[in-house]
Amino acid sequence: MKLEVRVPTLSDSVASGTLLPWRKQAGETVARDEALVDLETDKVILEIPAPASGILVEIRQPEGAVVKADEVVAVIETGEGAVTGVIPNEVKSSSAPAQTLASGSPRPSGARDDNVIQAKAELSPALVKPAVERVQLPTAASAVPVAAPGETRREPMSRLRSRVAERLVAAQHTAAMLTTFNEVNMQPVNELRQRFKAEFEVKHGIKLGYMSFFVRAVCAALEQFPIVNASIDGSDIVWHADADIGIAISSPRGLVVPILRRAQTLSSAGIELAIADFARRARDNKLTLEELSGGSFSITNGGVFGSLLSTPILNPPQSAILGMHTIQERPVAENGQVVIRPMMYLALTYDHRLIDGRDAVQFLVAVKAALEAPHALLEQA
């Protein structure tokens, strides 16, 4: 019996994807749920698995083809012939006869990527489950092709990079973006972390980091200034009851922003555990499209790369984004004295069509005030 291999159900925000090199070639035996090919979308890379064990008898869509949800990309032969390993005469493929790795060496028959997890799909299109995404990990520097001296190298942008570029340009053309700045004395947070870090880690099994303080400070400020958590849809203002906070994560393919749902209900431990889970599952290739969709506000931390100051760009349709930066010891004035304190610049970019300067500045001041008196941010730890 012949079974069609179809593109899995995609999210509402992802209409199509591009097929990457096939992992299996026509004529090869495949196992149920074995990844046949990767599908690169605007946000993530998905696996298309085999719906049953058998022989891959036809590849209908070659590497580089743009396909949509439920589109047939291959055919598998099951049954007695497939079980005994007999290759049907009608085996054919519209793809290139051999795929190669980045290094140019042929992919061995049946080779698999150790950084990939299995994704399952039912045969019926109505029952297709969302595939599991694979966020690519960095490759060794020696594996990255470089141009010879005096030459240049050209390669197409990935779908994710193209989509990010498109959204950033659209944000600049659509929103009236303005950035306001402030600085926060991180000494109180540092002292609180030092005081409770051992107890916190023993109790919750996770380190007490900076992000829980910032997320909870942002949630408290959004409660005071809900307009910062709102968005524009045509001529309407959409008010969001929940603080769904996007946490920007850099990956080799570009920026991904998983969403911390209903962050206002989470304790410090809950936030730290959730963010650590995002990072871990990104490394293990287990983030889903749903976790990268939506969000009412974003936080990006350029400080982990050493950025002292920047102006982050909005993530439409969100109306504001907070930029964190590196902590640097600087002289500041306190009570008429010059003292050295660990300082961080904060940047809030907002859509001035919706958010007035007063609300934006007061929101950022509220975040600063919460971080400089952080005991309340740790109460629900």
Cα–Cα nearest to 345, from 311, 320, 318: 311
Q: Cβ neighbours of residue 225 under 8 Å, at least 6 residues apart? A: 359, 362, 363, 366
Say whether 375 is catalytic. Answer: no
Helix then strand count (H, E) for the chain reads: 6, 20
* CA-based nearest residue to 300, from 278, 319, 323, 281: 323
Through-space distance between the first and last CA atoms of the chain, rounded to whole angstroms: 57
Which tokens is 111 given? 């080779």
The Cα-based distances of 182 to 179, 310, 341 in angstroms read: 10, 12, 15
Amino acid making up residue 247: I
DSSP code, position 133: B
Contacts (Cβ under 8 Å, ≥6 apart) of 50: 5, 30, 31, 32, 33, 34, 35, 36, 56, 76
Q: Which segments of 1-87 are extended strands (E)?
A: 2-6, 16-22, 29-30, 35-40, 45-49, 54-59, 66-68, 72-77
Active site annotation includes 240? no
At residue 254, what are phi and psi to the nearest 5 degrees? Answer: 135, -165
Of residues 253, 342, 241, the one with CA closest to residue 297: 241
Pairing of strands 16-22, 35-40: antiparallel
Beta-sheet pairing, 54-59 with 92-93: parallel
Q: Residue 30 pairs with which residues in a beta bridge?
A: 54
Q: Per the residue annotation, which of 204, 240, 352, 359 is the catalytic one?
A: 352
Residue ranges of E strands in 136-263 = 177-185, 231-233, 236-238, 245-247, 249-251, 254-256, 259-260
Respond yes or no on whether the N-terminal peptide bond of residue 130 is cis (omega within 30° of 0): no
Residues designated as active site: 352, 356
